[in-house]
Amino acid sequence: MPRRADDRSISRRRLLGAAGATVAASLLPPSAVAAAAAEPAVDYYDKLGVAKIINAAGTYTYLTAAVMAPPVQRAVAMAAHHPVRLKDLQRASGEYIAKRLKCEGAVVSSGASAALTLGTAACVAAKGNLKSNEIPLQARERGYEVIVQKKHRYEYDHAMLICGVTIREVGSLEEYKSAFNERTVMTNYFNSAGPESEPGIIDRETWLKVAHEHGVPCHLDAAADVPPISNLWKYTEMGFDLVCFSGGKGLRGPQNAGLLLGKKRLTDLALENDSPNSDAVGRGMKVAKEQMVGMVAAVDWILEQNDEAIQAESMRRIRTIEAALKGIPTVTTTVNVPPVANHVPHLLIKYDPATVGIKPLEVAAKLRSQKQSIELSPATGVRGRIEGADENTIVVGVWMLQPGEAEIVASSLRQVLKPAKA
């Protein structure tokens, strides 16, 4: 039925009665919307019976990664009040972030994994002049390849494979140099498995130089590699064509957000393969307006922090926990800072379980099941997951603790370790 001019004259009282609060709220003056937002919210974790935990592990996806920094939380809540044109927001957020992070182009993705997919799709599109609806099928038909070092194969390979490419594995520099052919679309470099942590790995500069000699773009996965904050521009400035970061890790943005940074030509192609375009590999990796704004706010937030303060606060928490463990027999503590990813101090608590009367994995289970549930690092009681840890080591990731929680972790650990035998 055609819309009649007098539809507009529909009385507000009738609308309020019939159409429900959402429609009504959009007709109210902004002050009334603000008042409604100030009403106490329902705590759906409580309502659903889902335990709120203390995260003494780190930015793990299964623990919902970071809690958004307070200004990010506020920006997300405010963005929820109004619709916008999604493409306007994509363009404006990309330009803003690119400027702040000193690169040509930026895309807010639904995470680092999605950024890797969009980056791969961009390189596929660039190579074959393909439209979004031709990916993955044309990439597969043409046998397109991404070159990766053997030691850089990882779980996130899947994020590239869904674009229809295959992965060509190389070991030595010689193998790498001879791996390029007319089907090569991209290379991927797993940043935290660089020469600092993987002996024999091809270093970043050499990797880039060889690829660029062949005119092939390089993607670098730096998902978990902030801090240091300067990593946000270090790798694009080094010459990587595309770099991805997770939004929900050190940047403390929304968990379902991330960044693809790099050459504008490629980030533009990444957007063509992204939501809201439906016939695109990225359609299911939708970023809502709230997360897009939240990611921008997270970039603003992280640029106001500094590495020294982050490290100092981590050390304060570690000293708090160490102090609570004084007098527990056989306990020795050390601090480990992983070289690239999760580059923040972790506390390693090593002891003799036979003397103390409880094993690290049993400590983890106890803290998990107590009323105020605590999650210790998954490196607890496992050899080699973090340097220096083994079956007899508790590992505490203090990075994601919220104010007051280091004290709770400290007293809980003391309670569990102390009554045992000694």
Ligand X SMILES: *Cc1c(COP(=O)(O)O)cnc(C)c1O
Q: Which residues form the interface with ligand X (CB under 6 A)?
A: 61, 111-113, 156, 221, 223-224, 246, 248, 258, 341
Amino acid at 165: V
Identify which of 347, 381, 348, 346 has the alpha carbon closest to the alpha carbon of residue 363: 381
Cβ atoms of 72 and 301 within 8 Å: the answer is yes
Which CB sits closer to ligand X, 125 or 223?
223
- By residue count, the chain amounts to 422
To ligand X, the closest distance from the beta carbon of 117 in angstroms equals 10
Structure letter (DSSP) for residue 136: T
Which CB sits closer to ligand X, 235 or 351?
235
To ligand X, the closest distance from the beta carbon of 120 in angstroms equals 13
To ligand X, the closest distance from the beta carbon of 119 in angstroms equals 12
User: How far apart, in whole angstroms, are the C-alpha atoms of residue 40 and residue 72?
Assistant: 20
Which residue minimizes CB distance to ligand X? Answer: 111
To ligand X, the closest distance from the beta carbon of 45 in angstroms equals 21
To ligand X, the closest distance from the beta carbon of 384 in angstroms equals 18
The H-assigned helical ranges of 325-359 are 353-356
Which CB sits closer to ligand X, 136 or 248?
248
Amino acid at 405: E
Task: Please provide the distance, in angstroms rounded to a whole number, between the alpha carbons at the two ends of the chain.
Answer: 82
Which CB sits closer to ligand X, 64 or 334?
64
To ligand X, the closest distance from the beta carbon of 7 in angstroms equals 45
Which CB sits closer to ligand X, 118 or 356?
118
Which CB sits closer to ligand X, 245 or 351?
245
Which CB sits closer to ligand X, 246 or 377?
246
Which CB sits closer to ligand X, 113 or 320?
113
The helix or strand, by DSSP H or E, that contains position 166, with its residue range, turns out to be strand 166-170
To ligand X, the closest distance from the beta carbon of 289 in angstroms equals 19
Q: How many helices (H) and strands (E) does the chain have?
A: 18, 12
Cβ atoms of 69 and 247 within 8 Å: the answer is no
Amino acid at 222: A
CB atoms within 10 A of CB 127: 19
Which CB sits closer to ligand X, 108 or 293?
108
To ligand X, the closest distance from the beta carbon of 59 in angstroms equals 7
To ligand X, the closest distance from the beta carbon of 246 in angstroms equals 3
Structure letter (DSSP) for residue 340: S
The H-assigned helical ranges of 251-398 are 264-272, 289-302, 307-324, 353-356, 360-369
Over the range 201-222, which residues count as b (16 or more CB within 10 Å of their CB) and which as e? Answer: bbebeebbebbeeeebbbbbbb
Which CB sits closer to ligand X, 122 or 224?
224
Which CB sits closer to ligand X, 112 or 416?
112
To ligand X, the closest distance from the beta carbon of 349 in angstroms equals 25
For residue 242, give the 3-state DSSP assignment.
strand
- Inter-CA distances, 225 with 211, 247, 270, Å: 23, 11, 22
User: How far apart, in whole angstroms, are the C-alpha atoms of residue 318 and residue 407?
Assistant: 10
- Inter-CA distances, 164 with 137, 254, 279, Å: 6, 29, 15
Residue 301, both tokens = 């937030």
- Alpha carbon dihedral 263, 232, 95, 288, in 10-degree steps, equals 110
To ligand X, the closest distance from the beta carbon of 191 in angstroms equals 7
